[in-house]
Chains A and B, each alone.
Chain A
Amino acid sequence: MKVNTAKKEEVPYKGEHLVKLEEIENQVSELRTQLESLSKSSPENKISLIVFSGDLDKALASLIIATGAAAMGMDVVMFFTFWGTPILRDKGKKVGGKDFMGKMFGTMLPKGVCEVKLSKMNMAGMGTVMMKSLMKKKNVASLEQMLELAAEMDVRIYICEMSMDLMGFKREEMIEYPNLTFCGVAKFLEEAQNSKVQLFI
């Protein structure tokens, strides 16, 4: 609209009408392409979370946000990287063929949601045990239950391939999850770019 009215005022000579019309047409088509690219890059109703921490409390918070967002009708993406990756290991799975460092990381890092510890007041594991029993008493869902819920609610999980490789984890030792993808940073950024909310936890 703006273009049209502005251009109309700027047409003083009859002979230049055709030229001006062409100019306007060009501008309109230019605006149209701009509008199209704008609508393509505008954020979707989506949340992208980076789960960097391997602590029970932070993992729980990220899963609560993820399931809450799914309940609110948002598309949810969780990107597990670095200390967050061992949370997704399956306790029951055993894989061989690891080198020395891989074995060491394998034993020292938690094997799945059950072995994840509190970031504060762990007190050699006592704090975590107390927190877990308190969570049960207060009906707060465990990490395991939250992961199940996330799967039910179509929360998508991405696992950082580089972190896995660094710590010597193999794909075969990760949990069975319906929407699990192994990827790198670009995949996450593609999702984050058109998300309304991005969080680093």
Chain B
Amino acid sequence: MSEDIKVDKVMDLKGMPCPMPIVKVSKGIKDVEVGQVIEAITTDPGALADFPAWAKTSGNEILKTDQQEDLIKFYIERKA
């Protein structure tokens, strides 16, 4: 599934409740260059609404969302 997206950094955010996933991702995305992609793995169901909202506001792009039972994976491209 994710073969077509080249991931430059993986962030394990499992078990972290709100607001930690977006707090960590907003910091983590600064570690990659513009155009690079991070894969954020979370177990917070609220993230399904939160990540797109965060991406829209911060000007980054979610390329793909992968949900397998409790695990949600976001592929986020740094845009700004």
Contact = CB atoms under 8 A, between A and B. Distances in A.
Interface residues of A, number: 14
A53 interface: no
Interface stretch (B11-19, B61-69, B71-79): B11-19
Nearest to A66: B19
Given A71-B23, A72-B26, A64 B54 contact: no
B44 to A, nearest CB: 10
A64 B18 contact: yes
B45 to A, nearest CB: 13
B80 to A, nearest CB: 9
A64 B19 contact: yes
Nearest to B57: A72
A105 B67 CA distance: 52
Q: Is the interface of A mostly helix, strand, loop or mixed?
A: loop
A140 B58 contact: no
A68 B17 contact: no
A40 interface: no
A153 interface: yes
Nearest to B15: A139
A73 interface: yes
Q: How large is the interface on B (under 10, 10 to 19, 20 to 34, 35 or more residues)?
A: 10 to 19
A2 interface: no
Nearest to A145: B20
Interface string B1-43: 0000000000000011111101101110000000000000000
B74 to A, nearest CB: 14
B17 A71 contact: no
B62 to A, nearest CB: 14
B53 to A, nearest CB: 8
A141 B15 CA distance: 12
Contacts of A140: 17
Given A73-B57, A73-B58, A68 B16 contact: no
Contact of B54 (A71, A139, A149): A71
Interface of B: 15-20, 22-23, 25-27, 53-54, 57-59
Given A64-B18, A70-B26, 4 more contacts: A68-B18, A71-B19, A71-B54, A149-B23
